[in-house]
Amino acid sequence: MAAAAAFATPLKCTFSTSHNVSGSTRGLHWRKNERSVKRAYRGVITAKIDHKPPPYALEALEPHMSLETFEYHWGKHHRAYVDNLNKQIVGTELDTKSLDEIILATYNKGDLLPPFNNAAQVWNHEFFWESMKPGGGGQPSGELAELIKRDFGSFEAFVSEFKAAAATQFGSGWAWLVYKANRLDVGNAVNPLPSEEDKKLVVVKSPNAINPLVYDYSPLLTIDVWEHAYYLDYQNRRPEYISTFMEKLVSWDAVSLRLEAAKARAAEREREEERERDEYEGNSQTEPQPVEMYLSDTEDSEAD
> Which of 9, 22, 296, 301: binder of other proteins (CB under 8 A)?
9
CA distances from 156 to 30, 160, 161, 199, 207 (A): 46, 6, 9, 21, 25
User: Of 41 and 170, which has the nearer Cβ to other proteins?
Assistant: 170
Instruction: Candidates 6-14, 147-155, 247-255, 293-301: pick the segment binding other proteins (CB under 8 A).
Output: 6-14
87 binds other proteins (CB under 8 A): no
Closest alpha carbon to 175 in 141, 132, 124 = 124
HSE at residue 80, side-chain half, CA atoms within 13 A, is 6
Q: What is the largest CA-CA distance in the chain?
A: 69
232 binds other proteins (CB under 8 A): yes
Q: To the nearest whole angstrom, how small is the minimum distance from the Cβ of residue 247 to other proteins?
A: 23
- What is the nearest approach in angstroms of other proteins to the Cβ of residue 37? 21
Nearer to other proteins, 4 or 291 (CB): 4
Does 117 bind other proteins (CB under 8 A)? Our answer is yes
Nearest residue to 109 via CA among 214, 217, 207 = 214
Is the link from the previous residue into 63 a cis peptide, with omega within 30 of 0? yes
* Residue 73 Cβ vs other proteins, minimum distance, rounded to whole Å: 9
Residues 166-205 that bind other proteins (CB under 8 A): 170-173
Q: Is 23 in the site for other proteins (CB under 8 A)?
A: no
CA distance 75 to 72: 5
Residue 5 is a binding residue for other proteins (CB under 8 A): yes
- Residue 177 phi, psi dihedral angles, 5° rounding: -105, 125
How far is Cα 220 from Cα 250, in angstroms, rounded to an integer?
11
Query: What's the min distance (Å) between Cβ of 207 and other proteins?
Result: 7
CA–CA dist 159, 252 (Å, integer): 13
Q: Who contacts 102 (Cβ-Cβ below 8 Å, separation ≥6)?
A: 85, 89, 94, 115, 119
Residues 237-296 close enough to bind other proteins by CB under 8 A: none
Q: Least separation, in Å, of the C-beta of 16 and other proteins?
A: 5
Binder of other proteins out of 62, 231, 257, 270 (CB under 8 A): 231
For the CB of residue 170, give the shortest distance to other proteins in the complex, in Å: 5
Q: Which residues bind other proteins (CB under 8 A)?
A: 1-2, 4-5, 7-14, 16, 18-19, 72, 76-77, 80, 117, 170-173, 207-209, 226-228, 231-232, 235-236
